[in-house]
Amino acid sequence: MNAPSTLLTLLDTLAPAPLPERERVQEALTVRLHPAGTTVFHQDTAHPHVHAVRSGLVKLAYLGVDGSEWIKSFVAEGGFFASLAALARGGRTTFLAAALEPSCIEGIPHAVLEDLASRHLVWSRALHTLAMVHASRKEQRERELLTLDAEARYRRFVAEHPGLHLRVPQKDLARHLGVTPVGFNRIVKRVRQAAA
C-alpha cells in the first residue's frame, strides 16, 4: 500500500503552488481495504474525515427511517468524498458510504487539513478549490433532479461517467436516478433501441 496518495495527488492539481508539509498528510493518512458490501462510514456518526478512492467504487446514500435508501452519488478511483456536516465541530454524518466493489480507501482527519490551511495560504486555496468542486457536483446533481426526466439523467450519467453504469448494480443506479427497477429497465431498453 505504498502507492502515491490519491488525495495528495488531487490536492496537488488544485493547489496554485507546491504544498508545504506534505509529510504531515502522509503521516496522518490511513489506507484501508474495504471488501464489497462493507461500510466506510455509517449515517449519523461522528466522522470528521475526508476520503479518497485509490481503487474500487463507493456509493453514498441516505437512509430513511423506514430503511429505504436514496443514493446521492457514486465515487470511483481518483474521486473524493466527505460528509460536510460531519466536518463541523460536533457534526455527524448525514449519509453513509459503502463499498460496491473491493475498494482501497484513504482517509485523513479534517483537523489536519484545517491546521495546514490555517498556516499556509497555498493549502487554504487548495482546500477552497476542493470545496468548490464538491459544491459544483452537488449543484449539478440538484439541477438534473429538478430539470431532467429519468431517461435524460441516465443518458447524462452514461456520458459523463463512461463505463461506470456497467459497474454499478442496476438496483443502485435505479435508486440514484429516482426510478423503480422496472422503470429503469424500460429506460435502458429505450436507450439501447435508439442507439441501434
Element (H, E) at 107: strand 103-109
Task: Output the pLDDT for position 15.
Answer: 94
Q: How far is CA 169 from CA 6, 37, 100, in A?
A: 25, 12, 8
Q: How far apart are CA 139 and CA 55, in angstroms?
A: 26
Sign of the C-alpha dihedral, residues 35, 36, 37, 38? positive
Q: Which residue has the cell 460536533?
A: 90
Task: Output the pLDDT for position 3.
Answer: 73
Nearby residues of 172 by Cβ (< 8 Å), 6 or more positions away: 59, 71, 74, 100
Which option is the CATH number for 6-136: 3.40.50.300, 1.10.357.10, 2.60.40.790, 2.60.120.10?
A: 2.60.120.10
Task: Output the pLDDT for position 4.
Answer: 79
Query: Are the C-beta atoms of residues 7 and 113 closer than 8 Å to each other?
Result: no
Q: Is the pTM of this model over 0.85?
A: yes
Per-residue pLDDT of the chain (196 residues; tens, 9 = 90+): 567 799 999 999 999 999 999 999 999 999 999 999 999 999 999 999 999 999 999 999 999 999 889 999 999 999 999 999 999 999 999 999 999 999 999 999 999 999 999 999 999 999 999 999 999 999 999 999 999 999 999 999 999 999 999 999 999 999 999 999 999 999 999 998 888 7
Task: Output the pLDDT for position 2.
Answer: 65
Q: Under DSSP, is residue 166 helix (H, G, I), strand (E, B) or coil?
A: helix
Q: How far apart are CA 45 and CA 80, in angstroms?
A: 19
Domain with CATH 2.60.120.10 in the chain: 6-136
Task: Output the pLDDT for position 196.
Answer: 77
Task: Output the pLDDT for position 67.
Answer: 86
